[in-house]
Amino acid sequence: MVDTTIASLFLGVLEGLTEFIPVSSTGHILLAGHFIGFESAGKTFEVVIQLGAVLAVLSVYAAKLWALFSAAPHDPAARRTILSVLIAFLPAVFIGVLAHDFIKAVLFESPRLIAVMLILGGIVLVFVDRIAPPPRYEDAMKFPLGMSLKIGFIQCLAMIPGVSRSGATIVGALMLGASKRAAAEFSFFLSMPTMAGAFAYDLYKNRDVLDAGAVNEIMIGFVAAFIAAVLVVRWLLGYVSRHGYALFGWWRIIVGSVALLALSRGY
């Protein structure tokens, strides 16, 4: 078993690098944790360190968010943007609370399921990157409210580890008419309430199983995730605008296939 400090640092960096690209950060860190022998209390580490990635988005978009909320009292467009993200967030609240225990106790404990979902999600991503309809929405802050709600329901597929929260929202947005850049940016905005809510609820549910060692692991992973995610958020929008999402789809297929091969050999 690897040293827990090194494991926490490694998994935190992995979380930050993969949270906002459509490859499933949870799938990656659960598979990596399985293969290196890292086990967290209540699988809380894997959820809570995502807050580091949320803060990375907040730091990158701080000026834009400040302007948005400052304008909200007198600007209908700003209020509509905030409402759009909140509407997209609602399905995850209801389904996440109802399915929380099943997700953590069953789905998080199935490396084979995670590997299979990585592969299937990769195939979908490669396919959608080629056949998505011409974009009708270039600005993530101007999605229709009905479209936002649909994206919110699609995001709930990511409660199956290996699907990818960002991947589900991006694929949904692309198929509903968003540009590649707008799809990624809306995924960033939606990640903030979704991941903050998951962090708070999971911490509450597992408050009795967290000791000093677990808190130390979480803090190390949290900081590592924040630093890595800042770099990814700054890079991703430019990349997908030029090259699309096919690279991430192929990455998912490769990682999922390698994981399935390793699991079949008893690792």
Per-residue confidence (pLDDT) for residue 209, from 0 to 100? 61
- Cα dihedral across residues 247, 248, 249, 252: positive or negative: positive
pLDDT tens column, 47-92 = 778 888 888 888 888 898 999 999 999 999 999 999 999 999 999 9
Per-residue confidence (pLDDT) for residue 66, from 0 to 100? 92
Q: Above 70 in pLDDT, residue 211?
A: no
User: Cβ contacts of residue 261 below 8 Å, gap of 6+?
Assistant: none
| Closest listed residue to residue 137, CA positions, set 90, 91, 76, 184 | 184
For residues 129 and 174, what is the distance between their CA atoms, to the nearest angstrom?
Answer: 8
Angle (deg, nearest 10), helices 25-36 and 246-264: 30
Per-residue confidence (pLDDT) for residue 180, from 0 to 100? 92
pLDDT band per the 50, 70, 90 thresholds, residue 207: low
Q: Above 80 in pLDDT, residue 109?
A: no
Per-residue confidence (pLDDT) for residue 237, from 0 to 100? 83
User: DSSP 3-state assignment of 3?
Assistant: coil
For residues 57 and 42, what is the distance between their CA atoms, to the nearest angstrom?
Answer: 26
Q: What whole-number percentage of the chain has pLDDT above 70?
A: 92
For residues 7 and 33, what is the distance between their CA atoms, to the nearest angstrom?
Answer: 8
Per-residue confidence (pLDDT) for residue 106, from 0 to 100? 67
pLDDT tens column, 111-170 = 899 999 999 999 999 999 889 899 999 999 899 999 999 999 999 998 888 898 899 999
Cβ burial of 138 (10 Å; 0-12, 13-18, 19+) is: exposed
For the residues 221-238, what does the mean pLDDT come to? 89
